[in-house]
């Protein structure tokens, strides 16, 4: 298979994996991570993260630009039963899809990755089927999500943190894939993207705990071939969320939420660490 065609194919797959992460994660937070349904969904989301990551590494290694826009995740949102049935259908469809793709590829690593994505999708369908079968009649008819107790203003501030951090996290992981041949500084991009995932989870959970859908909408990714430029953009990016988080930390309504304050405090310290590390690295270039 011609390289350009291969990158195109893998970029369609990465969009599907990305869609699955967003769907299972959002659903997990709406259920609550500490519920058995929520924990199971989060576990699937993590496995989809591996899937996305393997594809991203391959695309980066091939010299391609990973497409960081999630594809749509078709599902029937009527109730839990229809939602889980949609998940089963989605995963089942991926099995022959990845198997067919694997046949088109010569490279043994890429073929193995595609085949693994096929058989792991099969397990995902099985696990969702198990959840569906175990739902009580009330659960099956119902939908996840609690009532919102936050003001519109606070929701908007937290959503702003969600959408901005999500964009940063995607940018940083894109950089890690694209600059993988640079070694350690690219590993650090990966490291930062993982911290950002955690920070994003804090604010996304806060939104979903209030029955609202976290604003996980991808925005523009900066396509640069320069690692130094990517790092200095990274400093700018972190400044943006530090501003958002400082404003949130001084908001009187937000201050009534102890858990939110602790996470904000932690996030701000991590953001300062990241900025210091990047500045230091850039000054030594």
Which residues of the chain form contacts with Fe ion (CB under 5 A)?
17, 48, 51, 91, 121, 124
SS (H, E, C) 14-76: HHHHHHHHHHHHHHHHHHCCCCHHHHHHHHHHHHHHHHHHHHHHHHHHCCCCCCCCCCCCCCC
Q: Is residue 85 within 8 Å of residue 58, measured between CB atoms? A: no
Total residues found in the chain within this entry: 285
CB of 117: closest distance to Fe ion in angstroms? 5
CB of 129 or CB of 240, closer to Fe ion:
129
Q: In the complex with Fe ion, which residue's Cβ is closer, 114 or 238?
A: 114
Write down the H helix ranges in 210-257: 227-249, 252-255
Q: For residues 6 and 20, which CB has a smaller minimum distance to Fe ion in the complex?
A: 20
Is the Cβ of residue 20 or residue 254 nearer to Fe ion in the bound state? Answer: 20
**Please, which residue, 95 or 222, has the CB nearer to Fe ion?**
95
Nearest one of 195, 225, 174 to 53, comparing CA atoms: 174
86 versus 161: smaller Cβ distance to Fe ion = 86
The nearest distance, CB 74 to Fe ion, in angstroms, is: 14
Rounded to whole angstroms, the Cα distance separating 58 from 18 reads 15
Exposure of 214 in the CB half-sphere (CA atoms within 13 A): 28
The CB-of-251 to Fe ion minimum distance in angstroms stands at: 38
Residue 176: name the closest of 195, 150, 148 by CA. 195
As measured in angstroms, the least distance from the Cβ of 100 to Fe ion is 15
Q: Is 258 exposed, middle or buried (0-12, 13-18, 19+ CB in 10 A)?
A: exposed
Question: d(Cα 210, Cα 225) in Å, to the nearest integer?
Answer: 41
Question: Min. distance of Cβ 147 from Fe ion in angstroms?
Answer: 31
Q: Which is nearer to Fe ion, 130 or 272 (CB)?
A: 130
In sequence order, what E strands does 74-214 have? Answer: none
Q: How far is the CB of 196 from Fe ion (least distance, A)?
A: 21
What's the min distance (Å) between Cβ of 124 and Fe ion?
4
- The token pair at 250 is 């001084």
**Residue number, 91 or 271, with CB nearest to Fe ion:** 91
Q: How many angstroms separate the first and last alpha carbons of the chain?
A: 39
Residue 93 CB, shortest distance to Fe ion, in Å, is: 10
* Cα 244 to Cα 239: distance, rounded to the nearest angstrom: 9
Q: DSSP state, 225?
A: S
DSSP 211: T
């Amino acid at each position: 298979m011609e390289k350009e065609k291969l990158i195109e194919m893998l970029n369609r797959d990465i969009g599907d994996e990305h869609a699955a992460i967003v769907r299972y994660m959002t659903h997990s937070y709406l259920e609550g991570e500490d519920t058995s349904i929520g924990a199971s969904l989060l576990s699937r989301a993590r496995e989809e993260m591996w899937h996305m990551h393997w594809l991203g590494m391959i695309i980066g290694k091939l010299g391609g630009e990973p497409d960081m826009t999630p594809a749509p995740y078709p599902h029937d949102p009527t109730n839990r039963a229809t939602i889980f049935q949609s998940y089963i259908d989605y995963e089942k469809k991926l099995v022959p899809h990845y198997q067919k793709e694997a046949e088109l590829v010569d490279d043994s690593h890429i073929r193995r990755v595609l085949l693994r994505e096929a058989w792991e999708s099969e397990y995902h369908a099985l696990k969702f089927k198990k959840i569906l079968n175990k739902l009580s009649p009330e659960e099956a008819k119902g939908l996840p999500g609690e009532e919102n107790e936050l003001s519109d203003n606070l929701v908007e501030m937290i959503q702003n943190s969600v959408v901005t951090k999500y964009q940063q996290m995607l940018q940083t992981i894109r950089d890690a894939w694209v600059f993988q041949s640079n070694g350690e500084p690219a590993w650090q991009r990966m490291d930062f993207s993982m911290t950002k995932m955690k920070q994003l989870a804090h604010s996304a959970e806060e939104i979903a705990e209030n029955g609202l859908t976290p604003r996980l909408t991808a925005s523009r990714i900066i396509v640069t071939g320069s690692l130094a430029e990517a790092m200095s953009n990274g400093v700018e990016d972190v400044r943006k969320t530090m501003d958002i988080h400082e404003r949130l930390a001084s908001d009187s309504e937000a201050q009534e939420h102890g858990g939110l304050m602790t996470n904000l405090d932690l996030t701000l310290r991590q953001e300062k660490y990241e900025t210091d590390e990047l500045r230091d690295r850039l000054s030594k270039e």
